[in-house]
């Protein structure tokens, strides 16, 4: 799943560690999400949405939804 977590985080001048602390996850988890190596759980996606004060759709973009 594509996402813009890294750009949102850097706009706020937060480190991966700071964002991880806000979300209750490790810096490594943030790194994996930003590099699109790991998709967050639905619960974590909602929490990320709340931290950035944006709708989920503004942060995460599914890659497997192609028009038919």
- State pTM to two decimals: 0.88
Domains detected in the chain? 2-54 (1.10.260.40)
Q: Look up tokens 């004060």; give the residue.
A: 53
Per-residue pLDDT tens for 13-62? 999 999 999 999 999 999 999 999 999 999 999 999 999 999 999 999 98
Where on the phi/psi map is residue 24: left (φ > 0), alpha (ψ -120 to 50), or beta?
left
Partners of 2 in beta bridges: 61
Q: What is the pLDDT of residue 67?
A: 54
From the list 52, 44, 51, 50, the residue with the least C-alpha distance to 1 is 44
- Torsion on CA atoms 44, 46, 51, 52, rounded to nearest 10: 120
């Amino acid at each position: 799943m594509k996402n813009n977590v890294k750009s949102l985080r850097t706009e706020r001048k937060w480190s991966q560690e700071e964002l991880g602390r806000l979300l209750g996850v490790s810096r490594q988890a943030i790194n994996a999400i930003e590099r699109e190596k790991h998709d967050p759980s639905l619960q974590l996606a909602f929490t990320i949405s709340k931290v950035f004060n944006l709708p989920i759709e503004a942060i995460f973009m599914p890659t497997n939804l192609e028009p038919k």
